[in-house]
Structure 1
Amino acid sequence: MTSTTWQRAWPWLLLLLVALLAAYLRYGVIEPATMAQQCGGGHAPWWCRWRQWLVLGFLYDVYGIAALLATALALLWKRAWLAWLAAALGIIALQLYCFESGALAVLVGCLRLLRLQATRALPVDQHRHGQQQVHSQP
């Protein structure tokens, strides 16, 4: 693979990594009943506070709001990192129960990232060659 191919592939591979980490948070930390039982007792482990913050985050739609804010920024400013951030936060929101706003953020973020990558790949003077000649009558 060439270096430009790797440069275009890195954001998508990182999105896959974000999806795997978000799935681990949901299915490995939040949903297991054994985790909830360990945090329910009087002597809870140190990580129970972090688990509680994760749960409160999706109860108050924090992940969905963050994803929508990043999506709005990605639409306002044409930056690839903002588009990637919108898609990544959308994936996290999808995994952590904020599916409406997460789906919109993933869709818009991925489309914006694809568009920005495509405009970098196109040559600057794509249509100008045929438009240089001026005819007086059609």
Structure 2
Amino acid sequence: MTARLPRMLAPWLLIVLAGLGAAWVRYGLIEPPAMAQICTAAQAPAWCALRQALVLGFLHEVYGIAAMLAAVLALLRRARALAWLAAALGALALQLYNYEPGALALLIGCLRLVHLQGAGNVPATATPAR
């Protein structure tokens, strides 16, 4: 049991890291007024194009759509990676202003990941209850 614990916790820690990274993008790169002033100056740095692309992404709900697509794929396929991707993109969408689809994708991804992790712990000799 203890040998499997790091492998079972890794996706959850990575989801938390994805959420923290998205929070840094939002509060460190997109929202500060100083960043907006730097990027509207005549000689704007090259990284302002990335900031502008991120802003356009949440204005057009790209992050919510991507999270929902990953959630649908996670429901159709029995892959832990897709469940993790749905949860991570859901956390990103939540932070980047796509609340409704982000929350739904995060919920679906987490529930699917729990289900798939639980299914991996069932002994092979167990028979289903009738």
Is 1:39 the equivalent of 2:15?
Answer: no
2:8 aligns with 8
User: Matched residues in 2 for 1:44 and 1:117: separation?
Assistant: 47
List gaps (5 residues or longer) in structure 1. 132-138
Which of structure 1's runs of 4+ aligned residues deviate more than 4 A? none
Alignment coverage as a number of residue pairs: 130
Counterpart residue type for residue 15 of structure 2: L
Structure-1 separation of matches of 2:56 and 2:17 = 24
Structure number with greater Rg is 1
Deviation of the 1:3 alpha carbon: 2.0
- The CA deviation string for residues 12-62 of structure 1, in whole angstroms up to 9 with x for no partner, is 011111111000000000000000000011100111000000000000000
* Structure 1 residue aligned with 2:97: 97
Q: Give 1:1-138 correspondences, 5 Å limit.
A: 2-127=2-127
Once the two structures are TM-superposed, the CA of residue 2 in structure 1 deviates from its matched residue by 2.1
Q: Using structure 1 for the length normalisation, give the TM-score.
A: 0.90
Q: Show structure 2 runs of 5+ residues with no match.
A: none
Percent sequence identity over aligned pairs: 55
